[in-house]
Structure formats: structure tokens, C-alpha cells
Amino acid sequence: MSSRPKRRRPGQRDQMRPIIGRTELVAAGLVLLAAGVTLGLVLLLTGGDADGGEAVQATANATVTSIPFEPADADGQALIDLGRRSVEALPDGEWPGLYDAFTQEFHNRCSFSDFVEAGEEDAAGLGAALQQIRFKYLIDVNLSGDTASAVIVGALTDDEYTIQTAYVREDGVWMIAPAPGTTGCSGFNRLSG
């Protein structure tokens, strides 16, 4: 065997092979993409807290892992009572009585008859599942003077759902206020479930 270098033809160039081939580049890109998606999910589920803070929504089926609100005074307890009443009035057949728990602002945009009709439509739409609805607790409570906001965590069978709600103290009594962005007889914003 000869150890002589190969002869090149005139005009022929040395072809250099890349250190990393196309297959390796695609594989590396997929690994980086998977790592980015995993990191994004971790940040979403932990609320972006590097210490693994609690998530408001931990899974796609809206399982809530935030700590339930514990009232420190009568105002906090009034908010819990209103949250419970707003969830349980429909399955208990007491929807019309809930109208009086809403603020005057809500009454100005939703008549009593429209309110009752909306409740009847919601109850009919739920069918047999209506009796499965229950209040669990409040989270994300923000109470400031005569206004408050919260997220109601409820359950329909085994699935949790969350609803944004607002409250206003009128004449010394806490009332359910229309949640931001709602119109007509809609007083709550469904966040999940």
C-alpha cells in the first residue's frame, strides 16, 4: 500500500464534511424545543415563581391549587357567604332570591324578570347536572375599603371551575357587583371549567 496522497484532478476542490450534520442539527433543535416547552409549562403551572409558587390552574381541567381564603373578620366571611349563595342559589331553586344580593348598578342593567329568565335558561341547560353544582371556596380575594374581588372555586360533579366575581359594600352591606367586562344579566366571568 502506498502512503502517497491522492492526486487531485485540475479544478477539483477538497470537500470538507461539516462537523455536525443535518440530522444532528435537527435532533438538537428538537431537544431545545422540547426543553423550551417543558420550561414554559413549568413557569405556567408555578405562576412563574422560580421557587415553585402555587398555581391558580394546575392542569388543563382547571384543578385549582391556590390556598382557600380564610376570613380574618366579618367582611371576609360576608364575601364567602355571598360566593356560596351565588353558586348554590341555582341548584337550590332559590335563584330569584339572589337578585336582592346584587348591587343597584346590576339592577339598573338587568330587570328582575330578565334575571329570573336567565336563571331558568341556565338551569335547563344544565339538566340533571344542576344538582351536582357546589361551592368549594374563594381564592385570590382582594378586599380594599368598600370594594372587593375574588375568584369562586366551584365544582360540577368531580370537575372544578372558577368564576371571577366582584363585591361592593352598599349602605354597610356587602353586595354582589358585576364583574369587570360583564353586561346585561351576566354578573360573573367564567375563568375555567
Q: Is the pLDDT of residue 60 over 70?
A: no
Q: Which residues contact 143 (CB under 8 A, 6 or more apart)?
A: 75, 76, 79
Q: At 167, which helix (H) or strand (E)?
A: strand 159-170
Q: Please count the other Cβ atoms lying within 10 Å of the Cβ belonging to residue 54.
A: 14
pLDDT tier for residue 170 given thresholds of 50, 70 and 90: very high
* Cα angle: 152, vertex 156, 158; to 5 degrees: 110
Task: Kindly report, residue by residue over 79-88, the tens digit of the pLDDT.
Answer: 999 999 999 9
Confidence of residue 7 (pLDDT cuts 50, 70, 90): low
Residue 66 pLDDT:
78
**Type of residue found at 148:** A
What is the identity of the amino acid at 125?
G
Per-residue pLDDT of 20-56, as tens digits, reads 444 443 444 333 333 343 333 333 333 443 333 333 3
